[in-house]
Structure 1
Amino acid sequence: MAELLLDTRALLWWVSDHPRLSSTAREAIDSADQVWVSSATAWEIATKTRIGKLSTKPDLSKSFSEIVSAYGFRTLDITCQHAQRAAGYPHDHKDPFDRMLAAQAHLEAMTLVTLDPVFDRFDVDTLW
């Protein structure tokens, strides 16, 4: 497996060693050439932490970059191309974080590690 992009749940479950992270996902992350985490994931975690919908140990909203780096993952910045692709999807899926992850996975030719079936509606390769 060449390059992976983790969705927010995959990152959270990896960091917490949560048993719901599938063995397929776990093995793929362990053996990937490179694992990426989107800036959109940092935004989503910070937003959900701020509004009280998410609490993480350690606090990813405050030490995101350090924690991502500690696992050997790289952060993927959002570009104008990513934003245009995310905005241009034809269906009405409203979650901006999902739309961005789909756009980034598509444009960067990465496999998105996700449990969320909504990504079947986007033109991206997924695994779980």
Structure 2
Amino acid sequence: MEITIKDGTLAGQLPNYHNDPFDRMLIAQAMNNNLTIITRDSKIRNYQVKTILA
């Protein structure tokens, strides 16, 4: 999936619940594209993004 300026901007504006920049970019992409993240990382659930815990 292409990383857009919109994704980068949102990733930089997200609250600092998660310090991993790669995960923050995935969160931003999911938010911008109405996607669901499947993860074991419970910190991601702190964001307003759809998740499925693996």
Q: Identify the TM-score tier after normalising by the shorter chain.
A: 0.7 to 0.9
Q: Secondary structure at the match of 1:77?
A: coil
| Segments ≥4 residues shifted beyond 4 Å | none
TM-score (norm 1): 0.39
Number of residue pairs the alignment of both structures matches: 53
In the TM superposition, what is the alpha-carbon distance from 1:121 to its structure 2 partner? 1.2
TM-score (norm 2): 0.87
What runs of 5+ residues in structure 1 fail to find an aligned partner? 1-75
Q: Does 1:80 align with 2:5?
A: yes
Which 10-residue stretch deviates more, 108-117 or 84-93?
Answer: 84-93
Q: Secondary structure at the match of 1:91?
A: coil
Find the counterpart in structure 1 of residue 38 from structure 2. 113
Q: Which structure has the greater CA radius of gyration?
A: 1
Using the aligned pairs only, state the percent identity.
Answer: 38
Please report the RMSD computed on the Cα atoms of aligned residues, expressed in angstroms.
Answer: 1.2
What runs of 5+ residues in structure 2 fail to find an aligned partner? none
